[in-house]
Amino acid sequence: AEPGAMSEGLVQRRTAAAAASAAASSSSNQLAAAGSGAANQLSDSRTGSVDDDEKGSFRLTLMEEVLLLGLKDREGYTSFWNDSISSGLRGAILIELALRRRIDLEPPGARRRTLDSRRVVCLSDRLVGDALLDEALRHIRETETPENAECWIQYLSGETWNPLKLRYQLRNVRERLAKSLVEKSVCTTEKQSFVVFDMTTHPLVDGQAKLAVIRRAQDCLLSRWQADPQRMDRRSLALLYLAHASDVLENAFGSLSDEDYLLVTGRMRQLLQLDFDAEGAKDGACAMIWAVAKAFAK
């Protein structure tokens, strides 16, 4: 999705604003408690939550959060017209593994200063305990020739003309993530008939879980906005880039007033216009976030 496309969603967003407002009001009490808990849990990654990431103490992974933003609450499936979420989820897998200190980009050398010239390397083969993450980690660990983040997004998505690389494709990612959300009591499982075929769907049952993700995305660009992205919570920063790349970020802004909507889209545009190579080279930066962001910006 192009950065300017967010401003074009202002009129469309008004159509859904009433429904979003009603849902928000019915869940306001739950959201207050959930938002408070999420704020405490999702404290600034630069002040200690790296250890939390490594331990996997967060309830939802980045992949599950992106999928949750894309899921239709009652219908329980993502838009049939969204062609971006597949690759976005693969990018989320790379960042999640990096935040958990399983993979990283190779150190920048004299000839490898740009993010897309640095290869993804395995830091630890210790399993995470998540089937998708462990499968991706195994592929990265076993590959003979290291590749950059953009290549791994393509390989994990199955978007390659090299038949030898097709074995790296992660299959049924959305369905597997939806089942994980069911196991965490965020969604449920139903069968829905579409005249010519039946489809398994996963309607939302824990509204406060999704509202907490939406509130975090909004607050990151409003009340918790930091002009310096290096001071932002890394998981929240990654969520913004991944949700935008997956074409589901607009779903997090539906309940905002017109004034706040214009403010968050303007600030998101600032994030999209950053020099990703320069940000990734700064001390304390999670280079994988910026490498994935750059891969989707091309």
Give the CATH number, domain containing residue 107: 1.10.3630.10
Closest CA to 115 of 133, 91, 138: 91
The span from the CA of 26 to the CA of 203, in Å, is 18
Give a yes or no: residue 112 inside a domain: yes
Mean pLDDT of 20-47: 42
- Beta bridge partner(s), residue 193: 198
> Which neighbouring-strand residues pair with 192?
199
Looking at the domain assignment, is residue 1 inside a domain? Answer: no
Q: Find the domain containing 205 and state its range.
A: 62-297
* pLDDT for 29: 45
Q: Considering the domain boundaries, does residue 242 fall inside one?
A: yes
Domain assignment of residue 246, yes or no: yes
Q: State how beta strands 120-122 and 198-201 pair.
A: unpaired
Mean of per-residue pLDDT scores for the chain: 85
Tens digits of per-residue pLDDT, 165-210? Answer: 899 999 999 999 999 999 999 999 998 877 677 889 999 999 999 9
Contact 69, 63 (CB under 8 A): no
The residues, ordered by sequence, that sit 6+ positions from 140 with a Cβ below 8 Å of its Cβ are: 97, 103, 120, 122, 152
Asked if residue 8 belongs to a domain, the reply is: no
Residue 214 has pLDDT above 90, yes or no: yes
The number of folded domains in the chain is: 1
181 located within any domain: yes
Residue 195 lies in a domain: yes
Concatenating the DSSP letter of every residue in the chain gives: --GGGGGGGHHHHHHHHHHHHHHHHHTHHHHHHHHHHHHHHT--GGGTHHHHHHHT-SSS-HHHHHHHHHS-TTT-S--TT--SHHHHHHHHHHHHHHHTTSEEEPPP-TT--SGGGSPEEES-----S-HHHHHHHHHHHH-SS---HHHHHHHHHT--S-GGGGGGPPPSHHHHHHHHHHHTTSB--EEEE-SS-EEEE--B--HHHHHHHHHHHHHHHTTT--SSGGGS-HHHHHHHHHHHHTT-GGGGSTTS-HHHHHHHHHHHHHHHTS-HHHHHTSTT--HHHHHHHHHHH-
Q: Locate 292 and state its tokens.
A: 């994935």
Predicted confidence (pLDDT) per residue in 255-290, tens digit: 999 999 999 999 999 999 999 999 999 999 999 999
**Nearest partner of 65 among 93, 45, 30, 41, judged by Cα:** 93
Vertex 131 angle, CA 44 and 133, to 5°: 45
Can you give the pLDDT at residue 298? 83
Tell whether 16 is covered by a domain. Answer: no
Tokens of 162: 């090299």
pLDDT band at 294 (very low <50, low <70, confident <90, very high): very high
Q: Averaging pLDDT over each range in 17-26, 75-84, 231-240, which range is the top one?
A: 231-240
pTM for the predicted model, two decimal places: 0.83
Answer whether residue 31 shows pLDDT above 50. no
Q: What is the pLDDT of residue 57?
A: 57
